[in-house]
Each structure stands twice: as C-alpha cells, then as structure tokens.
C-alpha cells in the first residue's frame, strides 16, 4: 500500500482501497489485521514529514528522496511504528523491518536500514 502511495502518487485511502481486492488470499486476512495494516499506512503517510526529518538526521550522506524506494518505505513504516506504537518493543519493530528489507531489497541494504533505525530508536529513547 505504501508503494502504491509513493509510486502511484495516490492518497493513502486510494492505495488502501486498491490493495485489498488485488490480493489473491484476501479472505485469509481478518478485519482486525486489515484495520491494523490500514492504520499503519495512514499513520505513516500522515506523519511522513516528521518521519523523513528523523530519517534525514540519521541517514548520513543519504538524502531521503535518493534512497532506494523500498528501503525508504521500510524505514518510514518502522519509524512510524517506533513513534506511534509504544507497546511494540523497538527490537521487534527493527527486526521486522530487517526481514522486509531482506525480502524486498536484499542483504546488502540490511546494515544501512539497521543503522538508521537503531539511531532513531536511540533518539526516541525506545528500548
């Protein structure tokens, strides 16, 4: 959904509406999990300026707009979770972000994503 928002230049709501019908296993995602995923997308988009400022402060020598699209989206999503989901341990947020990075970008980006998120975690005083 975030990719559709970023690349397709659609609103968060448009990306959400377009995403769910396109899934082959749509019936396997219950409403609670859909609402949670939709909330992550909306929250990330709503706070993108704040998130990008945090990313820029920690991504030494990398402008946010020059990052690989999927790395940028994973970083934004994880940063949003670090900001807005205090019940989720930072370690869990970062580990999930690293798995997404491995899956969608590759092992070579994992160190970069880990370093940026760990710095943001420290800035936000998250354990």
Q: Say what the pLDDT of residue 104 is.
A: 94
DSSP 34-71: HHHHHHHHHHHHHTHHHHHHHHHHHSTT--GGGS-HHH
Where are the domain boundaries for CATH 1.10.940.10 in the chain?
47-127
Burial class (CB in 10 A: 0-12, 13-18, 19+), 27: exposed
What pLDDT score does 40 carry? 97
Q: How far is CA 123 from the centre of its chain?
A: 18
Q: How far apart are CA 66 and CA 33, in angstroms?
A: 32
Q: Is residue 127 very low, low, confident or very high in pLDDT (cuts 50, 70, 90)?
A: confident
The structure's pTM equals 0.92
CATH classification code of 47-127: 1.10.940.10
The residues, any chain, with a CB within 8 Å of residue 17's CB and separated by 6 or more, are none
Q: Is the pLDDT of residue 20 over 90?
A: no
Check pLDDT > 70 for residue 25: no
Mind listing the pLDDT tens digit for each residue in 41-69? 999 999 999 999 999 999 988 899 999 99
Those residues with Cβ within 8 angstroms of residue 61's Cβ, 6 or more apart along the chain or in another chain: none
Work out the average pLDDT over 14-20.
91
Q: Is the pLDDT of residue 97 over 60?
A: yes
Q: Tens digits of per-residue pLDDT, 28-41?
A: 788 898 999 999 99
User: What is the percent of the chain where pLDDT is above 90?
Assistant: 83
């Amino acid at each position: 959904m975030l990719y559709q928002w970023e690349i397709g230049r659609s609103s968060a709501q448009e990306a959400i509406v377009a995403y769910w019908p396109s899934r082959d296993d749509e019936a396997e995602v219950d409403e609670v999990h859909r609402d949670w995923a939709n909330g992550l997308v909306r929250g990330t988009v709503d706070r993108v300026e704040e998130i990008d400022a945090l990313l820029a402060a920690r991504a030494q020598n990398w402008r946010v707009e020059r990052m690989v699209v999927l790395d940028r989206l994973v970083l934004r999503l994880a940063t949003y979770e670090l900001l807005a989901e205090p019940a989720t341990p930072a370690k869990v947020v970062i580990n999930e972000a690293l798995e997404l990075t491995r899956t969608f970008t590759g092992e070579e980006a994992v160190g970069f994503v880990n370093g940026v998120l760990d710095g943001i975690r420290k800035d936000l005083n998250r354990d």
